[in-house]
Amino acid sequence: MFAIRMAILSFAILSFVSQAGKAHATTEVSLERVKDPELRQALTQAFVLPMVLELPDVTPGKRTSLIEAQAQKLERLLRFRGYLRSAVTMFGDPGTDAPVLLRPEPGQLYRVGWIKVTGLPGALPEEALLAFDAVVAPFAGRVATGEVLKQIEAGLIWQLRDASYADGQVVRVDVTTEPVTRTAGVTFTLVPGKPVQVGEVQIEGTRHSDLVKPIALSTLREGAPYSETKVDELRQVLEKTGLFNKVDVSLSNDLTSARRAEVEVALVDRLPEPHFFQRNASIGPALAIIAMVLIVLRECTGAGARWFGKPVGSVLSGALLIFYSINILVIAIVIFSIISM
């Protein structure tokens, strides 16, 4: 009777486990390998879908959305690395338990062809326009990766700020591919805003304000057009003084009616180097050793004078000299060991 009950219980447990396994069964999703080793490694690191699908709260509908999102993520990664006409093809129905295969199709690697900048301020002088050309020119011919496009965008924003357009920004980047030449044309659209002037210079976090203030005012004159080059010059001058662990020069977001903005100089003072104290700390022990040497010589001389003329005088003087010499040597070794720790 007991054996029958155990058999029934075992069957019930197995049935429950089997049903639970079916309830949490997940679609098998795999990623097809690409030939390029570096690209294959990047895609593999970004392919985290199998781990996500094993979570217990993933429903069939949510599973489909996750698989489609993973395919889009891999496609964005390919395009960010310069494969601008890439695609990730899905084989299988993600809404069922049938296996699904994601096949990356990188296509050709594209390089930067022409670069166009629109929205530049009309009042820019010729040298400023040439400066914008100098920003984009070095990127022609480079692989059109997302990182390269970010570098161009950062350079354009810096140049706007250097031309006093401190709140200028890049609002749009359009990429046009030319499959025949495998090049990409890139258009950057700028919104420069209005010119900004330097307002009051605020110095914070330092005990050297009397030194910093004249340097800051000579570099950034109140009422002058804001210039990112001048800000960099001030930062470099303050860093070269060696007085600060950190130098941060930034422009306040609050503008006056005359479009003047405060310049905030935040500094962190550098503590004195310990080498000075270490060098001076060795003077005291050295003087103590010299004093002890003089005491030894005095004691030995006195002992020799007291015992002079006696048969054992020279022997006692020599013994005292040896005794004191050993003591002074031991003390010197101990002192120098402490100094060098």
The CATH code of the domain that includes 263 is 3.10.20.310
Specify if 16 maps to a domain.
no
**Residue 278 has what pLDDT?**
53
**Residue 241 has what pLDDT?**
87
Task: For residue 39, give both structure tokens.
Answer: 């690209």
Domain boundary among 219, 247, 269: 269
Positions in the chain whose pLDDT score sits under 70: 1-27, 51-56, 58, 272-325, 327-341
Specify if 94 maps to a domain.
yes
Specify if 7 maps to a domain.
no
SS3 content of the chain, % helix, strand, coil (to 5): 50, 20, 30
Domain boundary among 105, 122, 138: 105
If asked whether residues 265 and 279 sit together in one domain, one would say no
If asked whether residues 46 and 95 sit together in one domain, one would say yes
**Residue 12 has what pLDDT?**
46
Cβ atoms within 10 Å of 104's Cβ, excluding its own = 23
**CA atoms of 99 and 26, how far apart (whole Å):** 9
Specify if 320 maps to a domain.
yes
If asked whether residues 100 and 26 sit together in one domain, one would say yes
If asked whether residues 84 and 47 sit together in one domain, one would say yes
**Residue 252 has what pLDDT?**
84
Task: For residue 194, give both structure tokens.
Answer: 């209005």
Domain boundary among 254, 269, 284: 269
If asked whether residues 263 and 279 sit together in one domain, one would say no
Specify if 285 maps to a domain.
yes
**Residue 23 has what pLDDT?**
41
If asked whether residues 48 and 99 sit together in one domain, one would say yes
**Residue 14 has what pLDDT?**
41
65 three-state secondary structure:
helix
If asked whether residues 178 and 202 sit together in one domain, one would say no
Specify if 14 maps to a domain.
no
If asked whether residues 148 and 203 sit together in one domain, one would say no
Specify if 77 maps to a domain.
yes
Domain total for the chain? 4
If asked whether residues 92 and 117 sit together in one domain, one would say no
Specify if 301 maps to a domain.
yes
If asked whether residues 288 and 331 sit together in one domain, one would say yes
Domain that holds residue 176: 111-191
Dump pLDDT digits (tens) for 121-134: 988 889 999 999 99
Judge whether 50 and 67 are in contact, CB under 8 Å: no
